[in-house]
Amino acid sequence: EAGVAQSPRYKIIEKRQSVAFWCNPISGHATLYWYQQILGQGPKLLIQFQNNGVVDDSQLPKDRFSAERLKGVDSTLKIQPAKLEDSAVYLCASSSLTSGSDTQYFGPGTRLTVL
């Protein structure tokens, strides 16, 4: 079974530029998550989708971050414009259910550096 795919793996941009990340979850997983992991901290949820609807985006900085999951499969996360503090690893995860005891399967992440 293929795991969660993410691209690109690494990205370096200048501040105020735009960037987009792509995620393809495990086939059949209805729930998709985007987490941000800043160096020295644990991952923090940015947004959660159930199929193509948003379940939780309370911690998404909506003035600069946006995400979509068209057709309930792939998802993209965009930052526009980027700030220095956005340097982090962006992790995508998926799960088959929305129970708190359901395992979330993670992709390898995109490491973003904002200069």
Partner 1 sequence: ILNVEQSPQSLHVQEGDSTNFTCSFPSSNFYALHWYRWETAKSPEALFVMTLNGDEKKKGRISATLNTKEGYSYLYIKGSQPEDSATYLCALPPETSGSRLTFGEGTQLTVNP
Question: What is the binding site for partner 1 (CB under 8 A)?
Answer: 3-4, 31, 33, 40-45, 48, 55-56, 91, 95, 97-109
**Closest CB to partner 1 among residues 16, 85:** 85
**Closest CB to partner 1 among residues 18, 103:** 103
CB of 68 to partner 1, least distance (A): 18
Whole-angstrom distance, CA of residue 56 vs CA of residue 33 = 9
CB of 94 to partner 1, least distance (A): 11
**Closest CB to partner 1 among residues 22, 105:** 105
**Closest CB to partner 1 among residues 15, 44:** 44
CB of 113 to partner 1, least distance (A): 15
- Of residues 48, 36, 29, the one with CA closest to residue 94: 29
Whole-angstrom distance, CA of residue 86 vs CA of residue 105 = 23
DSSP 35-56: EEE-TTS--EEEEEEETTEEEE
Is the CA virtual torsion 12, 44, 31, 28 positive or negative?
Answer: positive
